[in-house]
Structure 1
Amino acid sequence: MLRISDKLCKGEKIGIIALLAALLCLILAPALVPLPSFVFLFLCFVAPFFPGTSFFLPIISRAQAGTEGIVLTFDDGPSPAVMPILLELLAHYRLPATFFVIGKKAAAHPELIQQILAAGHSIGNHSWEHDYFLMLRTARKIQEDLHTTQEVLAGYGVRPLLFRPPVGITGPRLQKVLEQENLCAVNYSCRALDRGNRNIAGLSEKIINKLHPGDIIMLHDLPAFQEEDRELLYREFERLFKWLAEKHRVIPMAEALQAPVMLQEKARSPSGVC
């Protein structure tokens, strides 16, 4: 089971340093007393927008140290327009993947969740409806969002142990919620900046050029934003998957983290869904 560290997070450590710096300024240069607080508040504001920064809580963004394998992940599905083709390509190149699904979409497409599981891939929680401002909501709202998605997926016989926040943004209220829901935050270390498959030209090349052993790749289980780019998207996926299969060892998320990433349960009727 993945364990959330009980050590101080970076934000807490920096906060303590800022407090000590302010006390030192009070003695040596009183006019500079506000400066450490301003620096700390600035870091609190910008840090959540960097997916690999464990500022407010522990965040996994790469495989365990020493792991050479690559992890392939997809966000924002399940998409009925793209998922069948993705699964076909992954099966052809024998690549495992983790799908971080949106609860509302999972509730609408249970057959796609079953197809993901039947193909041997893993599933993570990606929030109920991909609210970009979720981390600015109350702790109660965040907890309701994650819990509802967990319940929907439990209805299909799977309970994720991983949560990927929308757009990778975290916040100070998230850690307690994750502990309540038995989840661990996982982001990524390699992405194509495709803006939800809006910018797909050269998508495969962008990943290939910056990929390193141990990276967690983030792609999107979404149709091309422009209908005329649909075939281009599939070609980019295929080129990337073929290259990964030939040049790297793509491993399941569980192997990369050396821990289970989801629990399989008896399927039941989801509850708590509007």
Structure 2
Amino acid sequence: MWPNGFLNITSRGRRSKPQVYLTFDDGPDPRFTPAILDTLAQHQIKASFFVLGEACAAHPALVRQIAEAGHDIGIHSYSHAHPWRLPEAQAREEMRRCYHTLADITGSPPRLFRPAYGRIRPATLQQASALQLRTVLWSCSVIDWGAWGTLSGVSRRLAAVKPGDIVLMHDARPDANRPQVTQTALQNFLLTDKAASLDFCGLSQLLTKPD
């Protein structure tokens, strides 16, 4: 049986409003995150970053830069281990360790959680509830990884976003050219008429505004 936390999962906003929620997973990465931050700043856009604890520990100044720019920061996991392949206690510890690492760096407790690979399980939902975290998935992935993560493919999927979408992107990946593709596709998309018709927001706006 799923815990009550199953009801505390968000995967998109309301289609009747023009808001779109850009999210970035797996960072921070000093090779790519600063360029994405620069792009967001140029267009005065707030986004949400789901970070890895080990990357935060390695690059705390970059975490603080994300926070100081006004973006939302949530936990992803500590090491990006697949939560279904871990013992329950270890899956919980991945969350706790990331939570405390991020809180120690920013001085504020995080409020958002996205499970690694988007894979939920009762143990992690229970841990999210214990840490007072809102679990956030996505409604649109630009698939900026693997064989489909080409500039044309990512650009095409970005162009298809709809009002209410929570958009999954990455600012760090093992295939190191992909975040550069993401940043280039995002920069190009934000110059389009379609992007001008949308209101790009951090997830905190979606989760705190009444319907």
| TM-score, length-scaled by structure 2 | 0.86
Residue correspondences, number: 206
CA distance in 2, matches of 1:120, 1:224: 27
Question: Which ranges in structure 1 are unaligned for 5 or more consecutive residues?
Answer: 1-7, 13-53, 260-274
Deviations 1:197-232, CA, capped at 9 Å, x for gaps: 9713221221212x11111011000268365x7765
Amino acid corresponding to residue 112 of structure 1 in structure 2: L
**What do the CA deviations read for 1:109-133 (whole angstroms, capped 9, x no partner)?**
001001101111110000001012x
The question of whether the paired residues in 1 share the 8 Å contact of 2:14 and 2:163 is answered with: no
The secondary structure found in structure 2 opposite 1:148 is helix
Work out whether 1:208 is the aligned partner of 2:155.
no
**Corresponding residue for 1:253?**
203
Partner of 1:81: 31
Task: Give the direction of change, closer, same or farther, for the CA distance of 1:161–1:213 in structure 2 (3 Å limit).
Answer: same
Measure, in 1, the Cα distance between the counterparts of 2:150 and 2:185. 8
2:119 equivalent to 1:146 = no
The reply on whether 1:189 has 2:139 as its aligned counterpart is: yes
Identity of aligned residues (%): 31
Output the CA distance in 2 between the equivalents of 1:60 and 1:222.
23
User: Structure 1 residues 103 and 83, CA, compared in 2 at 3 Å: closer, same or farther?
Assistant: same
The aligned residue for residue 20 of structure 2 is 70
User: Map of 1:78-117 to 2, 5 A cutoff?
Assistant: 78-117=28-67
Supply the distance in 1 between the matched residues of 2:132 and 2:44 (Cα, whole angstroms).
30
Structure 2 unmatched runs, 5+: none
For residues 210-249 of structure 1, the aligned pairs below 5 Å read 211-222=161-172, 225=175, 227=177, 232-243=181-192, 245-249=195-199
Q: 1:124 aligns with which of 66, 69, 74?
A: 74
- Asked if structure 2 preserves the Cα contact closer than 8 Å seen for 1:135 and 1:174, the reply is no
Alpha-carbon distance change, 147 to 75 in structure 1, aligned in 2, over 3 angstroms: same
Counterparts of 2:125 and 2:175, CA distance in 1: 33
Higher mean alpha-carbon deviation, 249-258 vs 161-170, is at 249-258
Distance across 2 between alignment mates of 1:208 and 1:221: 19
- The residue that corresponds to 1:155 in the other structure is 104
2:109 aligns to what SS in structure 1? strand
Question: What is the letter of the counterpart of residue 117 of structure 2?
Answer: V
Q: Is the 8 A contact 1:78 1:101 kept in 2?
A: yes
**Take 2:159 and 2:131, find their aligned partners in 1: how far apart are those partners?**
35
Amino acid at match of 1:135: W
Give the secondary-structure state (helix, strand or coil) at the position aligned to 1:77: coil
Give the aligned CA root-mean-square deviation in angstroms. 2.7
**Post-superposition shift, 1:182?**
1.5
Determine which structure has more spread, i.e. the larger CA radius of gyration: 1
Highest relative contact order (Cα 8 Å, sep 6+), 1 or 2?
2
Pair 1:171-2:121 in alignment: yes
Deviations 1:211-269 (A, max 9, x none): 11111011000268365x7765442121123336413111221111226xxxxxxxxxx
Task: Tell whether the 8 Å contact from 1:63 to 1:256 is kept in structure 2 after alignment.
Answer: yes
Change beyond 3 A, Cα 1:69–1:60: same
1:177 is displaced (CA, Å) by 1.3
User: 1:255–1:197: structure 2 CA closer, same or farther, 3 Å change rule?
Assistant: farther
